[in-house]
A and B are shown apart, each in its own frame.
Chain A
């Protein structure tokens, strides 16, 4: 199938037929009996992996196997914050790699992912916060990534509606101007459409129920639509990674927790940047539809319920109202949860596993949306070459044995 490009002309042409003849974004093929690479999990990371495999590695005999609908996992449930202001060099390398890919993504995919670099503020509310953003801000500079320190007055100038003298006064902020938001669904759909056009099979409503492993080498997967052979298998299942690892016979240094978010009724434009606070624990942005998108911490018990606890709603809303008193009478419209795969050092696992030719890309926890392009890109190269991409190497699951953890506890303390 030849992908028809979106352009002003295609828009005009399709308006002639009442927009009823737009090409389908991707096919719905039956699974073939064998693929060069099988990707398990059709979230953004899995779809991006398939896209870069086809685009940059010339491997097009690829299937993405998704148990529900693509993007229906955390990709379609997150609060879409994109940034690359992490503390450690390893993190800077992978998140900034993603940021650079974001910057050209809509053009590259011919799909508007609505990437908006509206800036992102990390607020500091106490001396410790100030020291943390000081240390991290300087580390970020050393890695050649943009970040600026703001005084409270500068924060107020950027975000006039903020209440600086709330219960925990705002003492400063770290700003990344290149940070912002993107449209989550569009990211999944854009990668899916572009991958499909290069021959990748996207197979939805097909659950992987087991791996076929012979002598420690993976040979394919069992699914609800029969067994499928694969020379290599990449597992990108976020919250369900522990379940997948169990099927393959090993454990991961991961626990799965519910994380929830919510949106308000639509408002006129009032917050034109992203505001995050680790200390009072909330993050807020305004969607293009006008809704305030807010989230905070995850539940602290393992659960696959895809529902956050009721009491968390209070934890999300009270700091929002403290920081933005005008929201006190706002009605919240929708609330939902996703299952996030959290590692102890708050850094992902992009790694080989004890099973040969079986690779895992997981542990992105509460903050992996921002890295969708970067993660997919380095994972594709790793799958294609059989050796982990240099940017991915530090994120091996071996680090939990060697002790070479990449502790992003502070940069990622807010779930975002």
Chain B
């Protein structure tokens, strides 16, 4: 079980949150000009990395606000949270390999 830090409420048990997948997927500004391929890519295809992952979480059983988390998907170590629009926190060389915070 993970400890997730809500930028507004602080660290809470993961069960208060749900994860909504890869962050920073931008909705295309020109939907009617996209090919089927580009649409498919936007809607369905994901990076699914074994490594650092920026992902969206929502604090359902708390303030109900959305934010982003940086986590390593192999070790599950969480390297920090940031509000929408904020830059992602810098992570160390070690973090890239899934090592300690």
Interface, chain A (partner B; CB < 8 A): 240, 242-243, 246, 251-256, 300-305, 307, 309-311, 344, 400-403
B41 proximity list for chain A (CB < 8 A) = 251, 401
Complex Cα distance, B40 from A115, in Å, reads 39
Q: Contact residue range for chain B?
A: 20 to 34
Complex Cα distance, B73 from A242, in Å, reads 12
Complex Cα distance, B44 from A254, in Å, reads 8
Interface, chain B (partner A; CB < 8 A): 1-2, 14-15, 18-19, 21-22, 36-37, 39-41, 43-50, 53, 55, 71, 73-76
Between A and B, 5 residue pairs with Cβ closer than 8 Å are A251-B47, A311-B15, A401-B39, A401-B40, A402-B40
Given A246, A304, A344, which contacts B44 in the complex, CB threshold below 8 Å?
Answer: A344
B21 contacts A303, CB within 8 Å? no
A213 vs chain B, min Cβ distance (A): 19
Given A243, A252, A310, which contacts B50 in the complex, CB threshold below 8 Å?
Answer: A243
A344 proximity list for chain B (CB < 8 A) = 44
B46 contacts A254, CB within 8 Å? yes
A308 vs chain B, min Cβ distance (A): 10
Complex Cα distance, B50 from A243, in Å, reads 7
Complex Cα distance, B46 from A256, in Å, reads 10
B73 contacts A253, CB within 8 Å? no
A403 contacts B48, CB within 8 Å? no
Given B46, B49, B50, which contacts A253 in the complex, CB threshold below 8 Å?
Answer: B46
B1 proximity list for chain A (CB < 8 A) = 309-311
B76 contacts A401, CB within 8 Å? no
Complex Cα distance, B101 from A242, in Å, reads 25
B49 proximity list for chain A (CB < 8 A) = 242-243, 246, 302
Complex Cα distance, B2 from A243, in Å, reads 23
Are A256 and B48 CB-contacts (below 8 A) given A302-B53, A303-B73, A303-B76?
A: yes
Complex Cα distance, B21 from A408, in Å, reads 21
Given A304, A309, A400, which contacts B74 in the complex, CB threshold below 8 Å?
Answer: A304
